[in-house]
Structure 1
């Protein structure tokens, strides 16, 4: 009996079978571990140890950089949105106009850093889920956090959007260059701490 027929016959949960290119039978980790014990106790132990190692590597590699960036982004996002609210939003705007102003400022940062708006990115990457920032490198996310703070200052200085996009683009280029010159060795030192 094929895996697909078995899955259908017993209404199995936690296991799927796909045919064709990149196909295969995929199971929840608990089911896979039980399958490993059916083969042999030694094989199950090997699978468990390797699975734990992979999970530990994955969490240690991503957690520090991701959490640090997340906290910095939260702070800078608040600074950025407060500057927009206090300097760019007249009280008579509708909720739609307010949301468009925030979106326009987010796209200003996207254009300055990535050279493209969120909408353009979605149109060019229809098969990818999420948004442009979900696919940014750690270096780009760090620069983006700095750009949010700098844009807040520029807004308070009453700089036009055209001036701000040029200044933000210059900042992005210089900071990315500096980070690349430092290299990933310094970032790796942080991840080990």
Structure 2
């Protein structure tokens, strides 16, 4: 599914599509204030320096790029009769850095690297403003994801205290071994780690010694979705403990809960859900 964002450069709205987890700028929108309109895209694409840039980009990023066909296009470029459309470029070379789309988000789109090259072709000032607005967009996105991550991390810690209180009140008294407290807490925490991450905290530390020495733990590297699920299953585990559900059945219930919630949350964009 294609996701659309938008930036404004001198009051000019420019759409950015998320295509294969990369940002693609609408070149058509970038030409709205240009006297030549979208025809400037054709002029830019016919320029030999542009073709060379596109070819190098594709060779670095596209394993399916037809370098032989690219060589033929380069030999044709610069002649008076030479013409190259986006469609021809894509069909002849199997390029992926630039594409023409129809429908709701119709227009010519290019990977951000290529879009900045096109922006420079329009004007250095326009390109600098374009880069600045894009950087601002990424900062906003990073701050929002960071805030969401911290909120979920705090919730996770709060629920961990709820869970350990339940262990203290409902499990330790029946064992009557106060020296076993830390082992029980770690065991319950690892029950959740195994259910969610597939390994214990110690196994993660052993596999990530440098990060462990820096004070990180398995929950610090969790995604937003994982922290959401962790928060939920910690609370659920606390309830199950209070209801005297044995560990084997708790593991089964928690695992089913994780699988169900993961399927649901993987289809949700948290940033959009906060707007």
TM tier relative to shorter chain: 0.5 to 0.7
Question: What are the superposed Cα offsets for residues 164-188 of structure 1, whole Å, 9 maximum, x if unpaired?
Answer: 11211111111101111x332xx11
C-alpha contact 2:149 2:223 (8 A) present in aligned 1: no
- Structure 1 residue 74: deviation in Å? 4.0
Does residue 59 of the first structure (1) align with residue 143 of the second (2)?
Answer: yes
Q: Secondary structure at the match of 1:90?
A: helix
C-alpha contact 1:111 1:165 (8 A) present in aligned 2: no
Q: Among residues 112, 116, 122, which one is paired with 2:195 in the alignment? A: 112
- List structure 1 segments (4+ residues) > 3 angstroms apart after TM superposition: 52-58
Q: Among residues 93, 114, 118, which one is paired with 2:177 in the alignment? A: 93
Alignment match, 1:139: 225
Question: What are the superposed Cα offsets for residues 132-162 of structure 1, whole Å, 9 maximum, x if unpaired?
Answer: 1111111011000000011011111211112
- Structure 1 residue 67: deviation in Å? 3.7
How has the CA–CA distance of structure 1 residues 83 and 120 changed in structure 2, closer, same or farther, with 3 Å as cutoff? same
Question: What are the superposed Cα offsets for residues 20-53 of structure 1, whole Å, 9 maximum, x if unpaired?
Answer: xxxxxxxxxxxxxxxxxxxxxxxxxx9xx79x94
Does residue 68 of the first structure (1) align with residue 151 of the second (2)?
Answer: yes
Q: Secondary structure at the match of 1:131?
A: coil
User: Between Structure 1 and Structure 2, which shows a larger proportion of helix residues?
Assistant: 1
Alignment match, 2:268: 183
- Structure 1 residue 73: deviation in Å? 2.1
- Structure 1 residue 120: deviation in Å? 0.9
User: Between Structure 1 and Structure 2, which shows a larger proportion of strand residues?
Assistant: 2
Q: Among residues 185, 188, 192, which one is paired with 1:102 in the alignment? A: 185
Q: Secondary structure at the match of 1:183?
A: coil
How has the CA–CA distance of structure 1 residues 126 and 78 changed in structure 2, closer, same or farther, with 3 Å as cutoff? closer
How has the CA–CA distance of structure 1 residues 153 and 59 changed in structure 2, closer, same or farther, with 3 Å as cutoff? same
The count of aligned residue pairs is 141
In structure 2, distance between residues paired with 1:61 and 1:163 = 35
In structure 2, distance between residues paired with 1:147 and 1:73 = 9
In structure 2, distance between residues paired with 1:60 and 1:116 = 29
In structure 2, distance between residues paired with 1:59 and 1:142 = 18
Q: Among residues 251, 257, 260, which one is paired with 1:165 in the alignment? A: 251
Q: Is the radius of gyration larger for structure 1 or structure 2?
A: 2
- Structure 1 residue 101: deviation in Å? 0.9
Q: What residue ranges of structure 2 are gaps of 5+ in the alignment?
A: 1-128
Report 1 or 2 for greater relative contact order, CA contacts < 8 Å, sequence distance ≥ 6: 1
Question: What are the superposed Cα offsets for residues 37-93 of structure 1, whole Å, 9 maximum, x if unpaired?
Answer: xxxxxxxxx9xx79x947655433311x12431342244223212211111112843
Q: What residue ranges of structure 1 are gaps of 5+ in the alignment?
A: 1-45
In structure 2, distance between residues paired with 1:98 and 1:141 = 25
